[in-house]
Amino acid sequence: MSSRLEAALSAAAVLILVLAAFALPAGASPAGPLPPVAAGDAASFALYGSALTGWGFGQNNTSNPGPHLFVSYASTVQLTLVSIDPASTQRNWFIDYNNNSIPDKGEPSSPLFWAGNSIVWNFTADQIGTFTYRCKIHPTSMEGLITVSAPTRYTLYGSVLNSPGWGFNATDIRAPGPTLVIEAGAPINLTLISADGVTHSFFIDFNNNSARDPSEPESPDFGGQGYPSTVNYTLETNITGTYAYRCGFHPTQMWGMIIIVGKGTGVQGGYPIGLIPGIMLVVIVGVLILAVTYQVRASRAARRKK
């Protein structure tokens, strides 16, 4: 391989790395796995199931699809599961996250139950979205929808003294603070409290530069002289991803992570991620064409000299 060809291929590799760096703006990352859930709200439902008529809140009002269930992320959901079919017919209830009609690892799935053997079973709502619930034995004749929504309100205590950081209560403040999960486009009510009497603010650091920028949502100041110790702030953004939230006055001491899920607009100023593979392909093909052209010309020139 000639030195020109080697140089061209090296240039292609460098261009790939440069373009990959632009694929995701600084400070951002895809909205990946949600954090381990802490104890949240509780919800309870009694569901009656039949292979012939589906699910319902009572034995005389079952249907397929069954009733639409609504719960909050991190909530503990208690189901009382009752079969109204003959005693020999077994039933199950599970959430079909990937919609393949069978319970897979990581999908909440109840023990079997049957007539005369009703069960009370709990699970934690640990995924956000609208999913199909089913019976694994009769997945098409016993199904319905369950919607798990991100929280719409949080209370955060902030402090820079003693143990700096954020917390859901005044006795458990740390850095990083608790991971927040919200939905893009939904108004989120934040109650922000200064636990140390010092002035603070709350903002999302989209570009991860530890500084407040005009395009980044930020709360009013709270705590300290001349400011209320508590403020209620409505946060709303269409940008999705995983970012740091910080105090505007103490950004490196008081921070945590926020995951914004749902359909959003992407980070302002960033390249549309869907264009990156196409750009890379065009650049690679172009560089390789140039490299082959150089090689052919060099070979012809060498033959002419002979």
Q: How confident is the prediction along the chain (306 residues), in pLDDT tens digits per residue?
A: 455 555 555 555 555 544 444 443 333 333 445 555 544 567 899 999 999 999 999 999 999 999 999 998 888 999 999 999 988 889 999 999 999 999 999 999 999 999 989 999 999 998 888 999 999 999 999 999 999 988 889 999 999 998 999 999 999 999 999 999 999 999 999 999 999 999 999 999 999 999 999 999 999 999 999 999 999 999 999 999 999 999 999 999 999 999 998 754 333 333 333 334 454 555 565 656 666 566 656 666 666 655
CB 8 within 8 A of CB 294: yes
**In sequence order, what E strands does 177-284 have?**
180-183, 188-194, 203-205, 230-235, 241-246, 255-261
- Sequence-ordered alpha helix ranges (H) in the chain: 3-22, 276-305
Q: What is the residue extent of each domain of the chain? A: 3-23+272-298, 42-149, 153-261
pTM confidence score: 0.62
CATH class, 42-149 region: mainly beta
Please name the amino acid found at residue 45: F
| Pairwise CA distance, residues 137 & 91, whole Å | 7
CB 151 within 8 A of CB 73: yes
CB 151 within 8 A of CB 72: yes
**Domain 42-149 identical in fold to domain 153-261:** yes
CB 145 within 8 A of CB 63: no
CATH code, residues 153-261: 2.60.40.420
What tokens does 227 get?
């400011």
